Amino acid sequence: MSALGETLRALRARGFTPVAAKLPVRVFKGGLACKKGDVSVKLTIKDWDFLSYPAICILDRPDFLPELMPHIDVLGNLCYFAPGSVTLDRYDPATAVLQCLNQATAILDRIATEPSTRQ
């Protein structure tokens, strides 16, 4: 079983669908199942060695998220790991990508449910 195939199956199981992009970049759209509801995101994987983290961009801000949020820039890009804080396994890309999605979901849950996080 190829690592890419396993990654694609893991993303499909999470409801992510591929979007046209120039190889070797892979782009997917899907939702993060947060405690207060789903958040529509775009996942962009440029570096399959995971020296840089996949980019996660919020496509539509749901009402339960405030307009100004920590961890999110003006373009909607989510900072879910501090640079260099986590080493992702390039030999297990499916687990690495799911680890990123899980962390992104946890950050959004904290923003939505813990007002002190937004201060």
Domains of the chain: 3-118 (3.10.110)
Q: Are 16 and 40 in contact (CB under 8 A)?
A: no
Residue numbers in the chain where pLDDT is lower than 50:
none
pLDDT score at 67: 81
Residue 43 β-bridge partners: 28, 56
- Non-local CB neighbours of 86 within 8 Å, separated by 6+ positions: 53, 99, 103
pTM score: 0.91
Average pLDDT over the chain reads 91
For the stretch 100-118, pLDDT in tens is: 999 999 999 999 888 776 5
pLDDT score at 19: 95
Contacts 24+ apart (CB under 8 A), 91-94: 91/3, 92/3, 93/3, 93/4, 93/6, 93/7, 93/48, 93/50, 94/3, 94/6, 94/7, 94/9, 94/10
- Non-local CB neighbours of 115 within 8 Å, separated by 6+ positions: none
pLDDT score at 52: 94
